[in-house]
Chains A and B, each alone.
Chain A
Amino acid sequence: MLRSYLPALIMLAISVANAIFMVVLSTVLSPGGRTKVKSAPYESGMDPLGGTRERFSVKFYMVAILFIVFDVETVFLLPWAVSLRPLGWEGFASAMIFIFILTVGLVYEWKKGALEWD
């Protein structure tokens, strides 16, 4: 039973070995020499204007949540759209229920005022 997982184990081993190989290779081959300019966030860009750990508005968080909702919806709906015919009416009904539940969430957010920036 467990023998059938051997390819997965081999793949795991190869990917781990590959990752270690890359890291080792870059440490060996890189020229080194850490200067102040080199360790700046944007080596060839403009100088940073201030600290990065600033507080920012919770509205961005709202947008991120909204994005996740539609992102997940897309992830589920694309494969469904491709195999719409073989899935038949039951598949169609299931997807409609899924969209309906997401719509309820959207209505809630809208009414709650999460879509208004001010």
Chain B
Amino acid sequence: MTLDFARQSAYFWALLPEIVLATWTMLVLVVDVFRSSDHPEESRAPVAWMSLAGLVVAGAANAYLLSMREAAPTGMIAVDSFRVFTNFILLLAAGLAICLSFGYLQRRHIDRGEFYVLVLFATVGMMLMAGSRDLILMFIALEVMSVAIYVLVGYHRQDPRSSEASLKYFLLGAFSSGFFLYGIALLFGATGSTHLPTIGTMLGDGVGTASPVALAGMALVLVGLGFKVAAVPFHVWTPDAYDGAPTPVTALMATGVKAAAFAAFIRVFAVGLGGVREDWAPVVWVLAALTMVAANLVALTQGSVKRMLAYSSIAHAGYLLVALLSANQAGAAAFLFYLLVYTVMTAGAFGIVIANSQGDHERVSLEDYAGFGWQQPLLGAAFGLFLLSLAGFPLTGGFLGKLYIIRSALESDNVPLAVVLVLASLISYFYYLRVIVVMYMRPAASANSHDQAGLAVPGRAAIAVAAVAVLALFFAASPVMRAAESSVASLFPAAPALFGMTP
């Protein structure tokens, strides 16, 4: 089907996955409130299952999107296979987070249906943000996503750390939204449009290229997006927010929110502002190098595994920035591939953090993992796999992802950044392997300290899926990589002309 955005009704088709998911979420909200007023003490597991079903239906609608073509890239929302690919990543991230929250919410006495509704609404926001081709829609989607996430971070309101994390994230997030919006206003002032392709042609034609207004606009948009992807020096909120949030929410923030912000990042900078690459590339270069080095160095000193994983997610933002900076199709494909690997391995690792919690108590310090590998052999092996993949060891998806990123950096003659990436990864080996050493080499505090893994069956299934995916992304990576490459081709319709290099 060909969509012509001159007709309003085309948007109903173009937004099909988001509309389906939003409608389903409203249904979940109403069903839950009717159920909970009759049986207030009952478990919310049916609501969680219903939410998972909604994600599956939205996934089907998303696949249907592949059969649609747009007449011209004039719409506020992109209809291309890049959007389909990122939507699948986001739906997967939300699905893993919901699976991991079974049981966990009950044990922490925060089992209410609104949790799942907020996760789904945040997912709708993420999908809109990743697919938007207009800065205003991108901003609204960013807010839809962020407001739901602010609430989710503070969901455990009896826990002061959760409330503190929520307030910190909210204040800094609102501040960075302001930066982003002001950047949009300045870009609009310089080019007369908020539509990314139009901005791209205006700046590419030399209109306002050198103007300080456009430069300031780009810088402010960069700050806004850099905050959401948690790139150094805009990362200060990350450890506190990730640490204080309920762990399934942390998993969602580290995977879904970051993936959505990165997809928006690539749409704004690599595509929309690709014509004026010389203006922003040096800044992103410094951001990427700083992020990789600083995050990995600070992660070395963390005594809490949850905080360590938070810093690890900051470091991975740096690796993804390297892929983004190699503004060629290989770079963008490597970026998508790594985003997928990163999503499954990070969600899996946070899943293990949930498995190691007991009762209302989250056990996150390094010592709490002593003997975990022997008393919970399967979960321990999975954790080892996720950590090795995060570090980038061979036989895992993380290795292949990093390899693709380094290759794309070398192809675009960005050797210094590739060297920084390799050195930063070397540093990261230490803190990832340390957890594995503690898990297997240190004796447990008592013979039954890891007897009850705090993870319900769906959570175990999520970890199994993530572990299989991490392995499959190494051993059967080529179909995924081909899919990533073809999605990226739709993103760069005029790639050679835009970047001044031959494909």
Contacts and interface: CB of A to CB of B under 8 A. Distances in A.
B26 interface: yes
A2 B33 contact: no
B211 interface: yes
A113 B37 CA distance: 9
Nearest to A113: B37
A107 B28 CA distance: 13
A101 interface: yes
B207 A1 contact: yes
A2 B26 contact: no
Interface string A65-97: 000000000000000000000000010001000
B26 A104 contact: yes
A15 to B, nearest CB: 18
B204 to A, nearest CB: 15
Contact of B213 (A2, A101, A107): A2
B426 interface: no
Interface in B25-47: 26, 29-30, 33-34, 37
B211 A2 contact: yes
Given A90-B8, A90-B9, A111-B37, A1 B208 contact: yes
Judged by DSSP, the binding face of A is helix
A108 interface: yes
B189 interface: yes
B190 A1 contact: yes
Interface in B200-242: 207-208, 211, 213
B40 to A, nearest CB: 11
A41 to B, nearest CB: 31
Nearest to A100: B26
Q: Indicate the member of B33, B34, B192 with the most A CB atoms within 10 Å.
A: B33
Contact of A2 (B8, B29, B34, B189): B189
A36 interface: no
Contacts, number: 30
B33 A111 contact: yes
B8 A111 contact: no
A56 interface: no
Nearest to A112: B33
Which of B26, B207, B208 gathers the greatest number of chain A CB atoms within 10 Å? B26
A90 B10 CA distance: 11
Given A1-B208, A90-B8, A111 B34 contact: yes
A117 interface: no
Interface in A44-74: none
Contacts of B30: 104, 107-108, 111
A7 to B, nearest CB: 14
A108 B213 contact: no
A84 to B, nearest CB: 15
Contacts of A112: 33, 37
Nearest to A5: B189
B118 to A, nearest CB: 13
Interface string B1-38: 00000001100000000000000001001100110010
Best-surrounded residue of B8, B34, B192 (most CB of chain A within 10 A): B8
Contacts of A2: 189-190, 211, 213
B192 A1 contact: yes
Contacts of A111: 30, 33-34, 37
A99 to B, nearest CB: 13
Contact of A101 (B26, B190, B192): B26
B151 to A, nearest CB: 14
Interface of B: 8-9, 26, 29-30, 33-34, 37, 189-192, 207-208, 211, 213
Interface of A: 1-2, 5, 90, 94, 101, 104, 107-108, 111-113
Query: Top 3 A-B pairs ranked by shortest CB distance?
Result: A111-B33, A90-B8, A104-B26
16 contacts: A1-B190, A1-B192, A1-B207, A1-B208, A1-B211, A2-B189, A2-B213, A5-B189, A101-B26, A104-B29, A104-B30, A107-B30, A107-B33, A108-B30, A111-B37, A113-B37
Given A90-B9, A111-B37, 9 more contacts: A1-B192, A1-B207, A1-B208, A104-B30, A108-B30, A108-B33, A111-B34, A112-B33, A112-B37
